[in-house]
Amino acid sequence: MSLREFVGGRDKNLITDKVSPDYELPALISKDESKPIVFENIEGYPDCKVVSNIVSSRELLAEALGTEKEGIIQRISSSLDNQMECREAEPKFRKICEKPDIKEEIPVPIFYKKKERRYFASAMVVAKDPETGTHNVSFHRLMLQEKNRLVMRLVKRHLHSIYERTDGPLEVAIIMGVDPAVEVAAATSFSPEMDELELANAYMEGGLEVSEVKGLKVPSDSEIVMFARILEEKAEEGPFVDLSDTWDKTRQQPKVVVDELWMRDEPYIRILLPGKGEHKNLMGVPQEPRIYKIVENTVPTVKNVVLTQGGCSWLHGVVQIKKRNEGDPKNAGMAALAAHPSMKKITIVDEDIDPADSEEVEWATATRMQPDKDIIFIERAKGSSLDPSQDYENRLMTKWIVDATVPFEGKDKGEFERAELPGQDLDLDDYR
């Protein structure tokens, strides 16, 4: 399925009035993150449509993976174990120009006012590992420097390893506007041997077609493909609003030169709003299966793991367990913190609490937890650079585990159960 097919079959906000790509577009995207939004009239780009908020909720992300929100972890885990080779097909995109003036061809929004940087936050970079032949697909924010020149935030993961093992510039494809299952695959952390295209194909149950162009495989129905080179030369990158909804610092990062721009006719430009729900879902949710697996090794009765949006989908999490004894919550909490070192707080809840429902989690914390007995502090632990409250000089913070499960000792378990209101099967419309 292509991006345009995915969006076309769903309830969405359709904006037909002319909208500026700077400030106005991001502001409107943020107004309603409950469903996809399509802009049909972007000022200065008469042939382009803009699409956002396609996985801005857990329900939409689950739909992209062909499951329910409670089954996300199982769906990702089973696909990781059963990756599928992609079929090859003719590309639906075509070459537009060489050495493009990118901003003249497609909108590159200014999202926030600090330094007024123009960014692609939805860009995925495709590179081929020179030793294994595996295609790596991963998200990397790209700041527009000028015309066909960008600066890439290159985190030390698989692409960085490929970059370091390449003599001279690294040839890559930059893609935007694909089936959201490809985006989830690109955001999934696993081993360097994993081919994210084959993982995406497993999510799509064999429905992903790829085209090999210039020695790189990319989804055949990509809306935008830029063939580029990552240089050894570096430039200032940032500031950028990251998952924490705060400003990330500026760094010296590799320059990127775009040699060719390829597009579909009347392309759908995929825009990801930094720091908001969709950004958080794509970065956080694919981490949950890894956390789940490590917690399961310690507490086999774990039921679910959620990185919460209020916790930036990175710094706070909730683990749902079937509690067997008083030690389970603390063991589950320590395993979760070890599995995701960026995490700062982990809350452990019972089976009857939906870990994705912040109100239910707060209710459990309010009615089942006493701070002097049920909170563990872990001092001077290494955390995430996204947390502005940490000790930046030493990159240290205090982490904490909150046991919000029903206590086994000294209490009647019935005291902690929600009161059930009879008549929940009644329909109000029958009484109108």
Supply φ then ψ for residue 195, to 5 degrees. Answer: -100, 110
Asked whether 394 and 381 are in contact (CB, 8 A), the reply is: no
Bridge partners, 316 (sequence order): 345
* Residue carrying structure tokens 């290494």: 382
Q: How far is CA 272 from CA 124, 138, 159, 395, in A?
A: 12, 15, 21, 29
- Which segments of 165-287 does DSSP mark as H helices, in order? 180-187, 196-203, 277-284
Told to judge if 354 belongs to the known catalytic residues of this protein, a careful annotator would answer no
d(CA 155, CA 391): 21
Q: Which of 163, 173, 70 is nearest to 123 (CA)?
A: 173
Q: Which two three-digit tokens encode residue 328?
A: 């389970």
Residues 6+ apart with CB under 8 A from 15: 28, 37, 38, 39, 40, 41
Helices 180-187, 196-203: axis angle to 10 degrees equals 130
Rg, Å, the chain Cα set = 23
Q: If DSSP codes are grouped into helix, strand and coil, which group holds residue 171?
A: strand
Q: Which of 179, 195, 221, 242 is catalytic?
A: 242
Q: Where are the beta strands (DSSP E) in 17-166?
A: 37-39, 49-52, 87-88, 94-98, 119-120, 124-128, 135-139, 142-146, 149-152
Active site residues: 242
